[in-house]
């Protein structure tokens, strides 16, 4: 990828440990600025035609995932959220399913796992949802034990995303579904300026796993997962991209800042993502795969 090297103290290359540290350091700030104390989501809002409130917009992706789970397991669904954050998706989806089996939420971050478990206790769900710290390429569950596996804005953090698909396939029963809401690179060559923004997004948000749809389908097919649904969600985002000159100036200045806190690259990565989405370098998509 093109673009000049970034000057703030980032681990190079991005590792699983650095992704964990990124979330340990930033989760409390993400929650503080999420905009909704009730939803506690730290993923993106989607404003469909009938979306009225911020809470609804935060839960649009959760509603899409729930409907997909119900389509293959209307009762007693066995599910796991891999890359669960502080548990918001499971707290929305799980109580709305019909007699679901106990569920697992897995996150790299011990800070997130602790916050999720505390929330589960407050909601009276501690006996129904288990939150654990762990790597989603090595999940502590038996093979073919789940009806559905899902991840929201999580596979993008995978250092080796194919390992995620291998593990998801292992966990799913035949006919089970893998459901993803995430960022994907557009399938076209990028200019030097576009590569600059893509690199700033990847480095700032610690997302080395952002791939093209074609690459992702290949990873999935290698492990017996077939694409069933591919819907673009980008039009339902409310983008906050800046004029290119202003954004480029802020990126340049931000890279020079002596501040060491992880929120600095995160803020630059957030700005870069908005530019990437606006420039159609990155697409936000809803993918569903079925295990053969």
Task: Give the torsion sign (CA, 139, 28, 42, 158).
Answer: negative
Do residues 179 and 277 lie in contact, with contact meaning Cβ atoms separated by under 8 Å?
Answer: no
Helical axes 213-222 vs 161-171, angle rounded to 10° = 40
**Tens digits of pLDDT across the chain (292 residues):** 344 333 334 446 899 999 999 999 999 888 876 554 454 567 899 999 999 999 999 999 999 999 999 999 999 999 999 999 999 999 999 999 999 999 999 999 999 999 999 999 999 999 999 999 999 999 999 999 999 999 999 999 999 999 999 999 999 999 999 999 999 999 999 999 999 999 999 999 999 999 999 999 999 999 999 999 999 999 999 999 999 899 999 988 888 877 666 778 889 999 999 999 999 999 999 999 999 9
Do residues 180 and 83 lie in contact, with contact meaning Cβ atoms separated by under 8 Å?
Answer: no
- Cα 146 to chain centroid, rounded: 20
Residue partners of 19: CB distance under 8 A and separation at least 6: 108, 157, 159, 206
What is the pLDDT at residue 4?
35
Domain ranges across the chain: 16-185+207-239+282-291
Assigned token pair, 139: 């999940």
d(CA 61, CA 74): 19
Could you tell me the strand order of the sheet in which 282-291 lies?
Answer: 129-133, 103-107, 79-82, 146-152, 172-185, 282-291, 225-232
d(CA 96, CA 63): 10
CATH architecture of 16-185+207-239+282-291: 3-Layer(aba) Sandwich (3.40)
In this structure, how many other beta carbons lie within 10 angstroms of the beta carbon of residue 70? 16
What is the pLDDT at residue 199?
96
């Amino acid at each position: 990828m093109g673009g000049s090297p970034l000057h703030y103290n980032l681990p190079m290359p991005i590792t699983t440990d650095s992704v964990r540290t990124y979330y340990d350091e930033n989760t409390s700030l993400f929650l503080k600025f999420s905009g909704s104390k009730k939803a506690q989501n730290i993923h993106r809002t989607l404003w469909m035609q009938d979306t009225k409130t911020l809470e609804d917009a935060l839960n649009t992706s959760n509603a899409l995932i729930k409907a997909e789970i119900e389509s293959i397991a209307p009762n007693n669904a066995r599910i796991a959220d891999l890359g669960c954050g502080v548990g918001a998706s499971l707290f929305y989806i799980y109580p709305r399913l019909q007699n679901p089996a106990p569920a697992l939420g897995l996150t790299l971050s011990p800070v997130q796992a602790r916050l999720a478990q505390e929330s589960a206790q407050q909601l009276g769900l501690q006996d129904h949802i288990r939150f654990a710290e762990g790597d989603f390429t090595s999940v502590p569950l038996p093979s073919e034990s789940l009806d559905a596996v899902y991840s929201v804005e999580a596979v993008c953090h995978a250092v080796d995303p194919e390992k995620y698909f291998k593990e998801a396939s292992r966990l799913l029963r035949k006919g089970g579904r893998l459901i993803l809401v995430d960022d994907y690179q557009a399938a076209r060559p990028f200019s030097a300026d576009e590569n600059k923004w893509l690199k700033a997004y990847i480095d700032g948000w610690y997302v080395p796993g952002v791939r093209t749809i074609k690459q992702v389908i290949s990873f999935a097919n290698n492990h017996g997962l077939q694409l069933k649904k591919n819907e673009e969600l980008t039009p339902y985002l409310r983008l906050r991209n800046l004029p290119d000159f202003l954004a480029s100036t802020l990126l340049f200045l931000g890279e020079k800042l002596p501040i060491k806190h992880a929120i600095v690259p995160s803020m630059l990565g957030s700005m870069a993502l908005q530019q990437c989405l606006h420039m159609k370098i990155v697409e936000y998509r809803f993918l569903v795969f079925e295990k053969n």
